[in-house]
Structure 1
Amino acid sequence: MDRRIQKSRQAIMDAFMKLMSEKDFESITINQIAEEANVNRGTVYLHFTDKYDLRDQCMEVQFNQLLRSCMPEEGMVFTSKTALLRTFEHLEQHASFYYVMLTSKGNTVFRDRMETVIQQSLNDHLDSIGLDKELNKDITVQFLISAGVGLLEWWITRSMPFPVSVMVEQFWQLLERLQLQSDELPNRSKKNLGNKAHYT
């Protein structure tokens, strides 16, 4: 993409995010976005169909960055401690974006999209580790989605009251007690086996 075009597109996305931190999504207009980005209305429409398309593309950019950051080898969030660490580090680095998207009135689209991304990863992960027969997969997935997204949302919207290291360690210990980590991790801690946890 031409550098000028890319710069213009980024300016529009940045302007949109700034407005999202100040206004309700439904009240934002294309004219306001154009004015904030210092471009004309037509330029906005060259890049985006409407403000809904702009919102969706902003989300996709961030989600793609999150997936690239957290899924190259270890998998997503619940599948390894390294993936969990990368997830929290990414959220910390882009906290302003996630704060705006999670606190904007009426903007449930972002939370729904986050839940969908985690659900896809969880389904694959639970299939790979062989879920305990006493646990219903659908119930387990919904429980973990609610717990995981809820925790991430709480951490971001409360201005990250605990450092990444504490969040990762606490979350991992909770997952450990549910025995839902990947078998790829050596010497996984299980109380009934008396093994001592070891992380690489």
Structure 2
Amino acid sequence: MDRRILKSREAIVEAFVALMAEKNFEQITINEISERANVSRGTVYLHYTDKFDLLDQCIKSHLVELIESFLPCGATGIFPSKASLLHTFQYLGQHAFFYAAVLANKGVPMFRYRLQAALLRGLDKQIDMNGINRDMNKEMLIQFLTSAIAGMIEWWITNSMPYTDVEVVEQLWALMERNQMVPQPFDKGMTI
């Protein structure tokens, strides 16, 4: 891709995320995005249909990167090891500004929904329904765990990461072990 095009896209996304950190999504205009990015309105429209398309593409690209962070070095499973879970929380910490902006912005419930949907698909393949989970309803168990993990991510990010990524991972891993979330093959072709 042409370096100028890439630079314009990066400036637009950076301006958009900064505006989302400052105000509600519904209040953001293309004019504000273009002014903050130091590009013309036409340049914004050249890359994105509207602010909804821009939001959708931002969320999609960050969720793809987040899912890829689950799977370092060709591993399988939504969190195949404590090291991959730590890698995921390190990724979240490195991109905390974006995640805080979309999680705290009341106009962007789509992000949490899509995060939960991605977790749901991964956990569905990973939950061991033997042992303590034998008498549980799998659908309810997966819904509960998905909400819990997404909630923990949201809480950690929106509260300015009050515990280190290592501390959060230790606690989350212990909870996952209690619920017999043993690594199972994971579909790398998962859609967002």
Q: Do both proteins adopt the same fold according to a TM-score greater than 0.5, normalized to the shorter chain? A: yes
Match of 1:125, SS state, is coil
Aligned counterparts of 1:183 and 1:76: Cα–Cα separation in 2: 8
User: Which stretch of structure 1 is more off in the superposition, 20-29 or 65-74?
Assistant: 65-74
- 1:117 matches 2:128: no
In the alignment, what sits opposite 1:180? 181
3-state SS, counterpart of residue 21 of structure 1: helix
Write the letter of the residue equivalent to 2:164. P
Over the matched positions of the two proteins, sequence identity in percent amounts to 49
Match for residue 40 of structure 1? 40
Q: Which amino acid aligns with 2:145?
A: L
Provide the rounded CA distance (Å) in 2 between the counterparts of 1:137 and 1:83.
24
1:107-186 superposed matches below 5 A: 107-126=108-127, 129-131=128-130, 132-182=133-183
Corresponding position of 1:27: 27
Q: Matched residue of 1:111: which SS?
A: helix
Per the alignment, residue 65 of structure 1 pairs with 65
Q: C-alpha separation between the residues in 2 aligned to 1:179 and 1:125?
A: 9
Deviation at 1:183, TM superposition (A): 7.0
Equivalent position amino acid for 1:34 in 2: S
Residue of structure 1 in register with 2:189 after alignment = none
Unaligned runs of 5+ in 2: 186-192
Other-structure match for 2:10: 10
TM-score (normalised: structure 1) = 0.85
Q: Give RMSD over aligned pairs.
A: 1.6
Letter of the aligned partner of 1:74 in structure 2? T
Give the gaps of 5 or more residues in structure 1.
185-200
Work out the CA distance in 1 between the residues paired with 2:48 and 2:159.
32
Write the letter of the residue equivalent to 1:75: G
1:25 Cα deviation after fit: 0.2
Q: 5 Å matches for 1:43-54?
A: 43-54=43-54
Distance in 2, Cα, partners of 1:29 & 1:45: 12
